[in-house]
Amino acid sequence: MRELAGKVAVITGAGSGFGLEFARAAVRHRMKVVLGDVQEDALEAAVREMRAAGAEAVGERIDVSKPEDLKRFADRALASFGEVHLLFNNAGVAGGGGYLWESRLSDWQWLLGVNVMGVVNGIRAFVPLMIEQDCECHVVNTASAAGLVSAPLMGVYNVSKHAVVTLSETLFHDLRVARSRIGVSVLCPAFVPTGISDSERNRPADLVESAPPTESQAMARKQSEKAVSSGKLTAAQVAQQTFQAVLEDRFYVITHPKMLPYVELRLQDIVQQRAPSDPFTYKPDVKPG
């Protein structure tokens, strides 16, 4: 998209972290914003903040894992502003770390429901509207660096984010086949301090796990909390880079380019048909080959 002012941005997971920063950036670009989140108090605070900054903003409580909520969200966006131009399928949760053979079905249901079906539901609710509008539009899906490599003890999250990368790549191809002008970007950040380590705050009651964590699950949790809290890039910087990619119509948004040697190593493992390398133990100064 070359021009953002006056256009409508729709953001899922807008109450915290990247989503909140996307909303702030959209407002700085003088866009109208439609904010969605499952956490009502955070959503209300975000809407208040955007209005106080002078923006036209509406909020809708949605659970992205539910297709009917995304349909209602799209109806609300159209009823409020008549059009939608920039969609952020961003809401996501982390958890389910530990050995895969110890993974819990409730973790699979929760993470795949939010991280994968949330994006699917967003695409199904909004892309047909964008196609019908036939004007400059763009979809940003929040995946992760975990969607580009396969780090140990993060199996459930890795699967969900690899799914978002391939969903985004396929959406890009499908739109070209359909001769649509809609742009697509996939955001793949490494660890950034946000509310992600506290994702359990929004876990649905029917998927809450009462069993105590196994040793591998406790280790994975400690490891990911430490990595998230020590991330150097801020969520605001991630949002700024993402808006730059939208303006440049760039597909891959790689906010941590230090990740790229690990991605290259994985691809070389595939091309050379050798065993997968562990991205956590690989030292990137040794050139993959």
Ligand X SMILES: NC(=O)c1ccc[n+]([C@@H]2O[C@H](COP(=O)([O-])OP(=O)(O)OC[C@H]3O[C@@H](n4cnc5c(N)ncnc54)[C@H](O)[C@@H]3O)[C@@H](O)[C@H]2O)c1
Q: Which is nearer to ligand X, 180 or 197 (CB)?
A: 197
**Amino acid symbol at 196:** I
CB atoms within 10 A of CB 152: 17
- Which amino acid does the sequence have at 78? L
Query: 86 or 131: whose CB is closer to ligand X?
Result: 86
Q: Are 277 and 289 in contact (CB under 8 A)?
A: no
Q: Strand pairing partners for 57?
A: 33
Q: Return the number of the residue (144 or 217) whose C-beta is nearest ligand X.
A: 144
Active site residue 157: yes
Please report, as ranges, the residues that interact with ligand X according to CB under 6 A.
12-13, 15-19, 37-39, 42, 62-65, 90-94, 114, 142, 144, 189, 191-192, 194-196, 199, 202, 228, 231
Q: What is the spatial distance between Cα 245 and Cα 264, in angstroms, rounded to a whole number?
A: 22
CB of residue 145 to ligand X, shortest distance in Å: 6
Contact 81, 8 (CB under 8 A): yes
**67 or 181: whose CB is closer to ligand X?**
67
Q: Which of 157, 252, 262, 282 is catalytic?
A: 157
8 Å CB contact between 26 and 11: yes
Q: Phi/psi of residue 249, each to 5°?
A: 55, 50
Distance in Å, CB of 15 to ligand X, minimum:
4
For 63, 132, 146, 177, the CA distances from 71, given in Å and listed in that order, are 11, 16, 29, 25
To ligand X, the closest distance from the beta carbon of 76 in angstroms equals 14
> What's the min distance (Å) between Cβ of 193 and ligand X?
7
Nearer to ligand X, 108 or 136 (CB): 108
CB of 106 to ligand X, least distance (A): 14
- Compute φ and ψ for 253, nearest 5 degrees: -110, 100
- List, by residue number, the catalytic residues: 157
